[in-house]
A and B are shown apart, each in its own frame.
Chain A
Amino acid sequence: MAGNGVRIGVLALQGAVREHLAMIERCGARGVAVKRPSGLSGVSGLIIPGGESTAIGKLIDEYAFARPIREMAVAGVPIYGTCAGLILVAARVKGKHGTILGLADVTVERNAFGRQVDSFERELVIAGIAEQDRPFRAVFIRAPVIEETGPGVEVLARVEEGVVLARDANVLLGAFHPELTDDERLHRYFLEMVAGAGGASGTEV
């Protein structure tokens, strides 16, 4: 199976860290909370969780995470950004605060669906992962949307407002929160990306 003991880091500066770690463990991999850049060594994949993108972005700067994470991405290590994580990995972010890590060729708008009273859950069809007969219950919380995708980006799911799940090579981008549900399919898909990439990130970071 895809998971098999492989170490997956979850950036643990703030946000839904615990839920991603639990999901990773359920899928048979080992979840590692990463609080410092040194924690990135030896992980075979990295999840950047939901939280407040502004707050996490500032902590990424403060603790000099940007360079080692960019190096991992260039080296082909799979990275999965959910919600705030999507904003953090996008090459272009509309409005104030701007780009943080710039790992994926997409343009993202923050809070694209409105404020918290407009947050929602819905059934979502995801290409190759959750088809019409068994859609994904996707939870969107003050969620961003992907407004534009570059030529190399594969769109996996969209709603009326735009793209909500996409993949740019080794970077998976999601606007919603699979870690708040019991549905393991997206985490398993990410672990397959990790198995396909093969190998942990260098120990020199």
Chain B
Amino acid sequence: MDKSVEKGTETVKRGLAEMLKGGVIMDVTTLEHAKIAEEAGAVAVMALERVPADIRAAGGVARMADPTVIGAIMEAVTIPVMAKCRIGHFVEAQVLQAMGVDYVDESEVLTPADEKNHVDKWKFKVPFVCGAINLGEALRRIGEGAAMMRTKGEAGTGNVVEAVRHMRTILSEVARLATLPPEALMSAAKELQAPYDLVCEVARTGKLPVVNFSAGGIATPADAALMMQLGADGVFVGSGIFKSEDPARRAHAIVQATTHYEDPGLIADVSRGLGEAMKGLEISEIGKENLIQFRGW
């Protein structure tokens, strides 16, 4: 082996996320679902024991999926396979890395294992994606080594309102930083509770240092295209596909709408006759203590 070979570098970790841009990452719980997702044109699948809507309904402690489920899905598809570990549960992350999953999602959808600290993601060769509701949270995760971000939205609701709020928040905070003079950046870092060097980088480049997808509440092709038009690099669809009446058709339609997000005529065509979308939840009826988006620190 050539001596110059380096694995698990920042370029390699962030690079896979770059390759997923413009695509749809779908939550799947069985190998049949994984094959439907791949056939529909998903760029990756998230291997889970239960989709977020079912996690929400079941209550109790939600943990990393059974390795048997993840392994079966890894065997079934050629696209990358992601899997979730609990916030701060670095041993679940070690297990997922040892299994060879392609991306670890340190996810608020599972029950947090540490109320203060997230995983030290620099220690891992496998890249991590993390959720954020604002720029400060995103930069803290990137500071810990996350190679990809996703806005959290509110998982398992089929309601896109929180996804929109979080995407707009992050992009407007990025835009604001880009207008600030250098002497204002330390104060901005203090307000955002974010690492100063990353704040300076965002101010200089006018964008996040890593790819940022949208997640949490996308249920229709129009939802996916909405998030893309707002500035998402791609979308995660969790419960929205396999909690709907016709998952294969809906998955296919969401992929088309994500690719051609600026073409409303096409979105109209692919949205015809998809059957029932997932039922969905009104955010105000969930109760603040049951909102998943506030997990993570």
Contacts and interface: CB of A to CB of B under 8 A. Distances in A.
A24 to B, nearest CB: 16
Interface of A is mostly: loop
A55 B7 contact: no
A139 B16 CA distance: 10
A116 B74 CA distance: 12
Given A59-B41, A110-B78, A123-B2, A117 B15 contact: no
Nearest to B1: A160
Contact of B41 (A54, A83, A118, A177): A54
Interface string A115-141: 111111111000000000001000111
Contacts of B256: 62
B260 A14 contact: no
Interface string A70-96: 000000000000011000000000011
A139 B13 CA distance: 11
A34 interface: no
Given A115-B100, A121-B6, A180-B15, A55 B79 contact: yes
A119 B16 contact: yes
A142 B16 CA distance: 8
Interface stretch (B20-28, B168-176, B239-247, B271-279): B20-28
A15 interface: yes
Contact of A14 (B6, B8, B21): B21
A15 to B, nearest CB: 5
B9 interface: yes
Contacts of A122: 2, 4-6
B102 A142 contact: yes
A16 interface: yes
Contacts of B15: 119, 139, 141, 177, 180
A115 B102 contact: yes
Secondary structure of the B contact surface, majority rule? loop
Contacts of A160: 1-2
B102 A97 contact: no
Contacts of A111: 78
B44 interface: yes
A35 interface: yes
A141 B12 contact: yes
B30 interface: no
A142 B4 CA distance: 18
A181 B14 CA distance: 12
B53 interface: no
Contact of B16 (A35, A54, A116, A121): A116
A19 interface: yes
Contacts of B125: 117
B144 interface: no
A19 B18 contact: yes
A181 B15 CA distance: 10
A95 B75 CA distance: 13
Contacts of B126: 116-117
Interface in B240-297: 255-256, 259-260
A123 B259 contact: no
A12 B258 CA distance: 12
12 contacts: A14-B23, A16-B21, A51-B19, A51-B23, A52-B43, A116-B101, A120-B6, A140-B12, A141-B15, A142-B19, A159-B2, A180-B18
The 5 closest A-B pairs by CB, nearest first: A116-B102, A123-B4, A52-B43, A14-B22, A58-B41
Interface of A: 12-19, 35, 50-52, 54-55, 58-59, 62, 83-84, 95-97, 110-111, 114-123, 135, 139-142, 159-160, 177, 180-181
Given A62-B41, A116-B103, A142-B16, 13 more contacts: A13-B22, A14-B21, A15-B21, A16-B18, A52-B79, A54-B79, A55-B42, A59-B255, A116-B16, A117-B7, A121-B12, A141-B19, A180-B11
